[in-house]
Amino acid sequence: MNTLIGAGANPNVAAAVVIGIEPKWTDWVANGVAETGKPVASFSIERYGDLRTVEMAARKALDYTQYATEQQREPIELGELWVSAKCGESDTTLGLASNPTVGRVFDRMIAAGATAIFGETSEVTGAEDIIADACVSETVRADFMKTFQDYQDFIFDTGADLLGSQPTQGNIRGGLTTIEEKALGNVEKMGRNKVASVLKPAEVPAGPGLHFMDSSSAAAEMVTLCMAGGSVFHFFTTGQGNIVGNPVIPTMKISANPLTVSTMPEHFDVDITGLLTLEMTLDEAADKTMEMMARCVNGRLTASEALRHDEFVLTKLYRSA
């Protein structure tokens, strides 16, 4: 329910039409979205049926579409942005180049007052101490370690062994040999920032800074949760190549793997292979990434948007690794 409310409440959404089976649940989502002040309409199928509901909702969607087209762009400061980051199809280039680049971008944005989200609870295994040491207080540290340990306990309670499935076959193909190697690359996205809070899935941060969200490592699910938490722009780093996007927030793909960039060029917005050939510094890679971010914030479609990768994944009734 929080993910559905968060999707409608996200600043990238101008208005929302909510359709559900019964009035109580439908109104619950609609009322949550309406707290933002944006136009919201709800329709329940009971006592109307599909056809009448679709007609009523479509007419309202027409009104809202016309309303949305009259909204005007307004200047914002860098520190007003809420962003998020995830890596997918990891390889050695993520820890060496792509994730440190996002970390440097986060350093700059958070210094300017921005809000940033990262996570992937199971995939920080082996580097959890780095995140714990970066927490702003003992309370936040305790929250993080409990969140991390609860996820580990859940995995073991199912009879599975995370170390038997991580790294994945794709990660191994990319040169990663242990979950610790993967995790050490993952946490590079933090930059030099302190962790301000630990969020539940789809939870909205209470203030600026860097926040850890308890979340799946499944790409589309994690991006969906960040979107529901208020992120309006997502940095997606990949080594082997990942095609996941999102219908609400632009998902900008970044890679430093020359083979992947050359064989899947239509999927990438930022090519930072120059970092590994020593033709580019980390600051120059961050400059390039932020320049493309600015272009996308100003209206340019990311590659995933242009290719219509609109994945939206609600968290299941059980946890996923």
> Could you report the per-residue pLDDT of 212-229, keeping only the tens digit for each?
999 988 899 999 999 999
Quote the CA–CA distance of 180 and 163 in Å, as a whole number: 10
Using pLDDT thresholds of 50, 70 and 90, give the confidence band for residue 159. confident
For residue 261, pLDDT beyond 90:
yes
Q: Is the pTM of the predicted complex or chain greater than 0.75?
A: yes
CB-based burial of residue 201 (10 Å sphere; 0-12 exposed, 13-18 middle, 19+ buried)? buried
pLDDT at 116: 98
Domain locations in the chain as residue ranges: 2-69, 78-306
Q: Which pair of structure tokens corresponds to residue 30?
A: 């609609």
Using pLDDT thresholds of 50, 70 and 90, give the confidence band for residue 163. low
CB-based burial of residue 237 (10 Å sphere; 0-12 exposed, 13-18 middle, 19+ buried)? buried
Q: Which pair of structure tokens corresponds to residue 289?
A: 């990434």
H/E element, 41:
strand 40-44
Counting Cα atoms < 13 Å in the Cβ hemisphere of 288 gives 20
Q: Which pair of structure tokens corresponds to residue 64?
A: 């809202």
Mean pLDDT of all residues in 228-253: 96
> Could you report the per-residue pLDDT of 78-104, keeping only the tens digit for each?
999 999 999 988 899 999 999 999 999
State residue 254 phi and psi, 5-degree precision: -130, 135
Quote the CA–CA distance of 196 and 194 in Å, as a whole number: 6
- Of 56, 62, 74, give the one whose Cα is nearest residue 15: 62
Quote the CA–CA distance of 172 and 47 in Å, as a whole number: 54
Angle, vertex CA 296, rays to CA 15 and CA 96, nearest 5: 125
